[in-house]
Amino acid sequence: MWRTRKRATTGTAAAEPDSERAPATLPNPHRNAYILMGIGGGVLAFFGLAAIAGVFAPVFFAFVLTICAHPLRLALEKRGVPRGLATGAVITVVILLLVGFGYALLVAISQFGVLLSDYSDDIEAAGQDFAAWLTSIGIGSEEIHAMATDFDPSALLDFLGGIVGGLTGWISLLVIIFTMLLLMAMDAAYLPYLRRQLVPVRPLLVPAFVGYGDNVRRYMVVTTMLGLAQGIIDSVVLLVLGVPGAFIWGLLAFVCSFIPNIGYFIALIPPVVFGALEGGWPTAIAVIVVYALVNGVIQSVIQPRMIGKAVSLSQAITFFSVLFWAVVVGPIGAILAIPLTLLVRLLLVDTNPSMTWIQPMLGDVTETKEIMAESDAAARAARAARRVGGAKKED
Contact 360, 368 (CB under 8 A): yes
* Alpha-carbon span 350 to 348, nearest angstrom: 6
What is the SS3 assignment for 312-324?
A: CCCHHHHHHHHHH
What is the SS3 assignment for 33-73?
A: HHHHHHHHHHHHHHHHHHHCHHHHHHHHHHHHHHHHHHHHH
DSSP 8-state code for residue 357: G
What is the structure's pLDDT at 135? 63
What is the structure's pLDDT at 132? 64
What is the structure's pLDDT at 7? 44
What is the structure's pLDDT at 341? 92
Helical packing angle, 53-78 and 205-241, nearest 10°: 100
What are the per-10-residue average pLDDT scores of the chain (395 residues)?
A: 43 45 61 83 88 89 90 86 85 86 81 75 65 60 54 50 50 82 86 84 84 89 89 91 88 87 84 84 89 82 73 84 90 89 89 83 83 89 82 67
Burial letters for 283-304: b for 16+ Cβ neighbours within 10 Å, e otherwise? bbebbeebbeebbeebbeeebe
